[in-house]
């Protein structure tokens, strides 16, 4: 029987690896890879707590699953829009380095 | 140590190792391929948590769609950043310190909670009762029909926005 703490620690480590990737990488697509890792860590956390709560109540709760479904959906929408923006910026700037995207800078 | 714990530990090691490879490799295509392995590890964790529906959704949506989309984007923008250049900015040392501080803070805070070491036992849900409950809850007006419909509108808006943003407007000018 796996303790809840193992899932929580794994999710925390996965989230922070993703955060590190999102902070330090130069390439915009690599930043997006970090964000995907963070969203996955959140899903692990949500489903671990869903299992915990269902087990505590003795009946299946669906709140946690609904949350997870919406997080997955938001992640799909985010990936599609972000990649469209990256390709659009690449077409006009010939660069996908996040630090070069400074057209709006005053 | 039970068999389940051994399975969890090996999955956790694979997931975390491939996550580290995703953020540290210089070749972005390799990072994207390691991300597929990470997503597969997370899908097996969902299966261990008895959320079999989400394990399937994870494989279909993340590995089938998002990872392939990312690989496409990597290939479309290839040869822009040379692999020999550094892929990280100057702040990586500070980032490692920051991330470790947050990790220690998170785990020390979580471990003060009394439910932290609860063993997760099997849910007694026969057959596919969990998926049936989720499906009924998502279309029930007393349940989660409104968030579900809002999410579908969000997905449609994201689809149209993505097509509009990525559309090459120079084609119009030539004709």
Please tell me the pTM assigned to this model: 0.89
> Where do the domains of chain B lie, and which CATH numbers do they carry?
3-82+126-174 (1.20.120.1200)
Report whether pLDDT(B43) > 90. Answer: yes
Chain B residues inside the 8 Å CB shell of A40? 38-39, 42, 62
Tens digits of residue pLDDT in B78-106: 766 666 667 777 888 899 999 999 999 99
β-bridge pairing A2-3 and B119-120? antiparallel
Cβ of B134 and A81 within 8 Å?
no
pLDDT single digits (tens) A54-68? 888 888 888 889 999
The answer, yes or no, to whether residue A87 has pLDDT greater than 60, is: yes
* Lowest mean per-residue pLDDT among A1-15, B30-44, B77-91, B105-119: B77-91
Task: Report yes or no: B70 at the A interface, CB cutoff 8 Å.
Answer: yes
**pLDDT score at A46:** 93
CB contact under 8 A, B23 and A55: no
Residue matched to tokens 């949350």:
A67
Residue B146 pLDDT > 70: yes
Q: Are B162 and A83 in contact (CB under 8 A)?
A: yes
- pLDDT of res. B76: 83
B154/A69 Cα distance (integer angstroms): 13
Which helix (H) or strand (E) covers residue A2, if one does? strand A2-3
Give B21's pLDDT tier (boundaries 50, 70, 90).
Answer: very high
pLDDT above 70 covers a percentage of chain A that reads: 100
Tell me the pLDDT tens digit for each residue of B108-133: 998 898 888 888 888 777 667 888 88
Which stretch of DSSP H or E encloses residue B94?
helix B92-110
Out of A21, A60, A79, the one facing B22 most closely (by C-beta) is: A21
All residues at 6 or more sequence positions from A44 whose CB lies less than 8 Å from its CB, including other chains = A7, A10, A11, A14, B42, B45, B46
A residues 63-82 near B, CB within 8 Å?
65-66, 68-70, 72-81
pLDDT at B175 over 60: no
Of the pLDDT bands very low, low, confident and very high (cuts 50, 70, 90), residue A20 is very high
Q: Does B18 touch chain A (CB under 8 A)?
A: no
Q: String of b and e for A52-90 (b: at least 16 CB within 10 Å)? A: bebbeeeebbbebbbbbbbebbebbbbbbbbbbbbbbbb
């Amino acid at each position: 029987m796996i303790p809840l703490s193992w899932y929580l620690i794994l999710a925390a480590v996965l989230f922070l690896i993703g955060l590190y990737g999102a902070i330090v990488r130069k390439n915009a697509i690599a930043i997006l890879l970090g964000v995907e890792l963070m969203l996955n860590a959140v899903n692990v956390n949500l489903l671990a707590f869903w299992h915990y709560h269902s087990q505590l109540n003795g009946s299946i709760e669906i709140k946690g699953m609904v949350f997870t479904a919406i997080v997955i959906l938001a992640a799909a929408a985010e990936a599609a829009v972000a990649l469209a923006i990256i390709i659009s910026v690449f077409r006009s700037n010939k660069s996908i380095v996040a630090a070069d995207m400074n057209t709006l800078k005053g | 140590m039970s068999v389940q714990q051994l399975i969890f530990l090996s999955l956790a090691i694979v997931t975390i190792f491939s996550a580290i490879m995703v953020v540290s490799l210089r070749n972005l295509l390799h990072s994207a391929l390691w991300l597929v392995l990470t997503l597969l590890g997370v899908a097996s964790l969902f299966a261990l948590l008895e959320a079999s529906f989400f394990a399937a959704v994870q494989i279909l949506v993340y590995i089938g769609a998002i990872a392939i989309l990312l690989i496409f984007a990597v290939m479309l923008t290839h040869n822009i950043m040379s692999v020999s250049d550094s892929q990280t900015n100057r702040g990586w040392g500070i980032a490692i310190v920051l991330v470790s501080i947050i990790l220690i803070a998170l785990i020390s805070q979580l471990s003060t909670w009394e439910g932290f070491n609860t063993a997760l036992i099997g849910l007694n849900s026969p057959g596919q009762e969990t998926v049936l409950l989720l499906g009924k809850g998502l279309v029930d007006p007393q349940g989660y029909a409104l968030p579900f419909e809002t999410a579908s509108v969000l997905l449609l808006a994201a689809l149209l926005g993505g097509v509009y943003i990525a559309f090459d407007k120079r084609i119009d000018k030539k004709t």
